[in-house]
Amino acid sequence: MSFLAGQIYNRELGRRSFVIVTFVINFHWMLLRDPVEANLSTFFYARVHHMDNLITLFSFHASSFYKFCAKCVPMHIEEYNNWKRRKMEVQNKYIVIKHHIEDAPKESNFEVKTGALVLSVEPGSDDIIVKNLYISIDPYQLNRMKSYSSSQGTISFAVPLNPGEAIDGVAIGKVVASGNAKFQKDDLVMGTFTLAEYSLVKEGNILRKLETSEFPPSYHLGVLGFNGLSAYAGLFEVCKPLKGEKVFVSTASGAVGNLVGQYAKLLGCYVVGCTGSQKKVALLKEKLGFDDAFNYKEEKDLNSTLRRYFPDGIDIYFDNVGGEMLEAAVANMKAFGRVVVCGVISEYTSAGKRSSPNMLDIVYKRINIKGFLAADFMNVFEDFIAKTSDYLRTEKLKVIEDMSSGVESIPSAFVGLFKGDNIGKKIINLVMGWLKLQKFFEKALKLHL
């Protein structure tokens, strides 16, 4: 945290005593747009020419600054808020693709753009403006970025993205302006928003209001969101496991796979997961309670590997990867085994590479293979939330979140999904620092009162 304090001259306000707090220029709305001078006598002299170019800030010792702020802030907070309300336009950062992406994504495929956005809505409209707090990073988005994918014509949330068009996705944010009577300022909402600092949500978009709960809001993007529902419904509704059955999970340290393994263990199944590093293998076995796990990158023959871990065969295979792993799993299934296909991330990046399991195995072993989407099972959503919440309260279910900060980190975070960089649910956190800032001002005001 950095602080700028002293006598500041501004064309609109004249000479005033101000405190400006900035977290590496994340909070642009807190910085004055017009040129200002800071005359801090014994401390330093700085000139700010634009809100993005603030440099050389002085850091006070925390305890002494609290006392200083307790005197300074209350005197001018109303005046500052009035000034801020006149400055309703922000420079909003968002992400676009430069061109269609047919293979593995690269950071160079994306571009961070900035556009002006007025933080108000027309009277009588149903529009809402949301300050994004948490953004979900999901591999299915790559299929939207292709010139063509079968998913584009079959599911509503996978509509194609055009080059230069702002990318949208599932996110959680706080309402900053609303013309919709169902949503008020400061409501916490979840929906499909522009992957940006702020999002204009037009009439007709589906929004869900999130009530205050004992769990962090980010959980609604992962363990209490569609990732959690995918794990819960895919395992219990599609596969219908029995206690003691042998369960194999691919991409087991990912957003869905880690939950599948934990749910299966809570039921009393024998669970083995595969993942892409020894660090992740240790996580599965030591923290998440998997019976065993292996690093597929160190295995030369996946068929033999699965025979080693499942000498009597696999009852349930929860597939998140497709490709050669699906072929090897089918070859090692028991009679009447169940394969549920949640994702095929290995095939998203190679247009010509498709898995081809042995059809004779499927016929003679009577293997049931089924694909599904979480949206198919909204009828069990309440049951899923109730049971999962109870597991979280009793700490029977562990939550793994992998967070990056800032809109600029979206391209690298997305690319990292296909390199296996993430552990657990990948989320972009746009609220880092805001809670610290809020607590700081609360403490300062308490000292003053």
- Interval 173-216: pLDDT, tens: 999 999 998 999 999 999 999 999 999 998 778 789 998 889 99
- Looking at residues 249-275, what average pLDDT do you find? 98
| Whole-number Å distance between alpha carbons of 442 and 426 | 31
Burial of residue 88 (number of CB atoms within 10 Å: 0-12, 13-18, 19+): middle
pLDDT over 60 at 87, yes or no: no
pLDDT at 50: 33
Mean pLDDT of 404-420: 96
More confident residue, 48 or 378: 378
- Name the pLDDT band for 96 (thresholds 50, 70, 90): very high
Span 13-22, mean pLDDT? Answer: 44
**If pLDDT is split at 50, 70 and 90, which confidence band does 77 have?**
low
Tokens read off for 275? 């993942």
**Whether the predicted pLDDT of 74 surpasses 70:** no
Q: Tokens 């005359």 map to which residue?
A: 39
Give the tokens for residue 256.
């869905």
DSSP summary character for residue 320: S
Considering the domain architecture, whether residues 23 and 103 belong to the same structural domain is answered as no
- Of all residues in the chain, the percent with pLDDT exceeding 90 is 65
Same domain, 179 and 280: no
Q: What is the pLDDT of residues 136-161, one digit of tens each?
A: 999 999 999 998 887 777 777 778 99
Residue 448 lies in a domain: no
* Residue 246, beta-bridge partner list: 270
CA 162 to chain centre: 22
Interhelix angle 62-86/434-448, nearest 10 degrees: 110
Torsions phi, psi for 425 (to 5 deg):
-80, 125
**Quick check: 47 and 34 in contact, CB under 8 A?**
no
Please write the tens of the pLDDT for every residue from 157-172. 778 999 999 999 999 9
d(CA 147, CA 103): 11
Do residues 148 and 74 both lie within one domain? no
Q: Kindly state the percentage of the chain with pLDDT values over 70.
A: 76
Please give the structure tokens belonging to residue 376: 């198919």
Of the CA atoms within 13 Å of residue 226, those in its CB half-sphere come to 17
CA distance 401 to 359: 38
- Taking 60 as the threshold, does the pLDDT of residue 445 lie above it? no
Residues 272, 291: Cα–Cα separation, whole Å: 6
Instruction: Output the domain CATH number for residue 116.
Output: 3.90.180.10
Decide if 440 is inside a domain. Answer: no
> What's the first-to-final CA gap in the chain, in angstroms?
24
CATH number, domain of 287, equals 3.40.50.720
Q: What type of residue is 385?
A: I
Calculate mean pLDDT across residues 245-266. 98
Give every CB contact of residue 390 below 8 A, 6+ residues apart in sequence. Answer: none
Q: What does the pLDDT read at residue 40?
A: 34
Q: Mean pLDDT, to the nearest integer, of 279-305?
A: 98
pTM above 0.75, yes or no: yes
**What's residue 100's pLDDT?**
95
Residues 246 and 337 in one domain: yes
Q: Are residues 304 and 359 in the same domain?
A: yes
Query: Cα–Cα distance between 447 and 239 in angstroms, integer?
Result: 58
332-366 pLDDT tens trace: 999 999 999 999 988 888 765 677 889 999 999 99
pLDDT: which is higher, 235 or 64? 235
H helix or E strand, kind and range, residue 428: strand 425-429
- Whether 168 and 306 share a structural domain: no
Q: Is the domain of 303 the same as that of 252?
A: yes
| Buried b / exposed e along 343-372 (16+ C-beta atoms within 10 A) | bbbbbbeeeeeebebeeebbeebebebeee
pLDDT digits (tens, 9 = 90+) for 426-436: 999 998 655 55
pLDDT at 347: 83
pLDDT band with cut points at 50, 70 and 90 for residue 21: very low
pLDDT at residue 48 greater than cutoff 50: no
398: in domain: no
- Give the range of the structural domain holding residue 23, as residue numbers without chain letter: 2-85
Block residue for tokens 């498709």: 354
Domain annotation covers residue 30: yes
